[in-house]
Structure 1
Amino acid sequence: MPERNQIIDDLRGICMLGVIGIHVGSFVLEAPYPNSFLYMLLEILSRYSVPAFFFISGYGLFCQYRPETTIAYLPFLKKRLQSVGLPYVIWSLFYLLYFSAVMPGCINWQPANILFLLFYGLACYHLYFMVILLWFYFTFPLWHKLFSFFQNSSLKLGFILLFLLQIVFNYWTCHPNLKSTDLPVFLQNLFNYRLNYLPLHYLFI
């Protein structure tokens, strides 16, 4: 059995502190006299945590599935759906039931609407990262091939190019002048909720 990576374990703990900071920040900042230092600490500096969790997930996957190995896609996907997909659906439904209980009538329980909420991670705000993680798992063979290509050519150059492409892609897809109002409703939703499901925004991480 491989030895645990202490640095990654420590990083997980630091990331958990960041997540706590994000979630308590809104309560602190609602105080009668908001503190600018606390705002910077809880609402800005703590934002490292979610991208860092994505890094940890990717690191673990690429340690387990080395570039020279072949991925058995269906067993791989089944394992990830059990570990992430099932908890995501259960917690989404839990939050929907909770919101229905405290605000009766706020949730449309039509199957099409529930599927819509689950697909985009809209049952509760902080569940979006699980949707991105699932899409990363769905498309992992592509990123596995890309990493293998980088390793066989030039790993440093590959990551530099990927970083530059990441900046351009994120800037283009998040540019304020980019509108979706003329698109069909389905494409509008894909555009409007792109940060909730599209792993390309986090690919370099």
Structure 2
Amino acid sequence: MRNTIIDNLRGICMLGVIGIHIGSLALAPNNFTLYLLLEILSRYSVPSFFFISGYGLACTDKGLLSGSRLNYIDFMKKRLRGAGLPYLSWSLFYMLYFWLILPPGFVSWNPLHVAYVLFFGLGCYHLYFMVILLWFYASYPLWRRLLRIIIHQSIPFMLVLLFIFQLAFNWWTTHPGLNTAGWSVLAKNFFDYRLNYLPLHYLLIFMSGGLAACYWEKFISLLRRYNVI
């Protein structure tokens, strides 16, 4: 049974994503202040989509609360069809597009370069979301176990700990204080593109979506209790 609240939230998030991507084109050249305001007001959309993803995975995971084993192969087959194939096709489409319009040498079809582009989500800047989502899927057994630990312990306390971890991790990734000049090319790429593939940046909101799925009625009651509108 579909959840109309989540469906409506998806629609609102789509509007936010549209706002993010048109602001830089339509507003930034003429009114930078208005562009920044739109950026702030529309940035809710990406975290909200990860909340929805956590909700969706928990809803479809019938053995989550009972602790039964996850069929990881079937799980990943379904997610690769739903998200992996679109990501692959759009990445290759963007590579082809840039190969056609940019001077020679900007885009290479060397298999190693293509793998590099696909791994870090560099086909086009906004595809980073799909890379992080695929990493959430690939590492779902870890988050599934963590979700059960949170449920079986004190949920408020565990969420506070997760919130503290999220603040510390996000602060470090934006203020690492590391000099990568002497690093190998591979290590430097992993570090430089850490925002593109590390799902830990959105772990709290993803886990919150999973908890909302497990305790939907309580979650909705909590929202209504503190509704200020």
Mark yes or no: TM-score above 0.5. Answer: yes
Q: Which moved more, 1:106-115 or 1:22-31?
A: 22-31
Tell me the CA shift for residue 176 of structure 1.
5.3
Alignment of 1:1-205 (within 5 A): 3-32=1-30, 34=31, 36=33, 38-65=34-61, 66-68=64-66, 69-105=68-104, 106-175=106-175, 177-205=177-205
CA separation in 2, counterparts of 1:89 and 1:6?
30
- Scaled by the length of structure 2, what TM-score is found? 0.84
- When residues 24 and 168 of structure 1 are mapped into structure 2, their CA distance, relative to the original with a 3 A threshold, is same
CA contact (8 A) 1:131 1:197 kept: yes
Tell me the CA shift for residue 99 of structure 1.
0.8
CA separation in 2, counterparts of 1:107 and 1:35?
31
Q: Matched residues, percent identical?
A: 57
CA separation in 1, counterparts of 2:195 and 2:135?
12
Q: Which runs of 5+ in 1 are unaligned?
A: none
CA separation in 1, counterparts of 2:6 and 2:28?
34
Question: Which has the bigger relative contact order, CA under 8 A and spacing at least 6?
Answer: 2
CA contact (8 A) 2:28 2:35 kept: no
- When residues 67 and 184 of structure 1 are mapped into structure 2, their CA distance, relative to the original with a 3 A threshold, is farther
Cα RMSD, aligned residues only:
1.4
CA separation in 1, counterparts of 2:8 and 2:16?
13
Q: Which runs of 5+ in 2 are unaligned?
A: 206-229
CA contact (8 A) 1:162 1:204 kept: yes
CA separation in 1, counterparts of 2:2 and 2:172?
39
Between the two proteins, the alignment pairs up a number of residues equal to 201
CA separation in 1, counterparts of 2:190 and 2:102?
28
